[in-house]
Amino acid sequence: MEKKTKLAVLFTGGKDSCLAMFLARKSNEICCLITIDSENKESYMFHTPSISAVKKQASVMELPIIIKKTKGEKEKELKDLEKAIKIAKQKYEIEGIVTGTIASTYQLSRIQKICNTLSLKCLNPLWQKDQFEILNELIRNRFEVIITGVFAYPLTKEWLGRKIDKSFVEEMKKLNEKYKINPAGEGGEFESFVLYCPMFRKRLKVVDKKIFGEKNSFRMEIKVE
């Protein structure tokens, strides 16, 4: 029997990192999660809405999580990511990293460079995948995903808390045609949070939420149980 590769997942709590892990675990061993908590809400590299809630997700997956804080300064934040990956390599003897990157060469090239430096594999199960196919794969595999941030016209505050379901996909088709919005939010148009997927022992519930923002830029900070 072939030995499984030990992996850490760059984890944001959103749909892409969860789906990438779901796909990668089919033939590999997931040893831990790595989350970067950025002070800079406009980080080039890292997802920020409701990042503190990732601890609950790690708990319902029974996985250890390494959370590394960063000021989120461009390029300097990569040093903090490298430190977190080094900890995972020493502590959990990982042999590779899983990313949820879909189309950002900026993100992928920088993560790949860190992996090369640390002699780790870099697995990107969603790379260049059709974005509507990604949304449909979430629905097919019973992922329960809500929107926690919107950052582009014509998305408004009313989208916060909305589930990614068939009607969401249909509406995204129209917005993609009319406004060129990336259906999976790959242009930074929206952020998401996973309340349930097949890797969770139980479904998480939103027990508190705070909304910040104006015009077409809103974020929802949630507390889950």
> The domain spanning residue 175 has which CATH number?
3.90.1490.10
Q: Which of 10, 19, 75 is nearest to 47 (CA)?
A: 10
Q: What is the pLDDT of residue 44?
A: 63
In a shared domain, residues 24 and 58: yes
Q: Which domain, by its residues, includes 158?
A: 144-224
In a shared domain, residues 115 and 156: no
Could you give phi then psi for residue 100, rounded to 5 degrees?
-100, 20
In a shared domain, residues 105 and 14: yes
Q: Strand pairing partners for 221? A: 210
The SS3 call for residue 61 is helix
Q: What is the pLDDT of residue 75?
A: 79
Residue 139 covered by a domain: no
The single-letter DSSP state of residue 163 is B
How many structural domains compose the chain? 2
* E strand map for 17-120: 28-38, 65-70, 96-98
Q: What is the pLDDT of residue 215?
A: 86
In a shared domain, residues 14 and 114: yes
Task: State which H helix or E strand residue 117 sits in.
Answer: helix 105-117
Q: Which of 199, 225, 220, 184 is nearest to 51 (CA)?
A: 220
In a shared domain, residues 22 and 88: yes
Residue 179 covered by a domain: yes
Q: What is the pLDDT of residue 73?
A: 85
Distant-in-sequence contacts of 59-65, Cβ < 8 A, 24+ apart: 60/200, 60/201, 60/202, 60/204, 61/33, 61/199, 61/200, 61/201, 62/201, 63/30, 63/31, 63/32, 63/33, 64/31, 64/32, 64/33, 64/92, 65/11, 65/32, 65/33, 65/34, 65/35
| Cβ 206 vs Cβ 146: under 8 Å | yes
What are the per-10-residue average pLDDT scores of the chain (225 residues)?
89 97 97 92 72 95 96 87 97 98 92 97 98 98 97 95 98 96 93 97 97 92 96
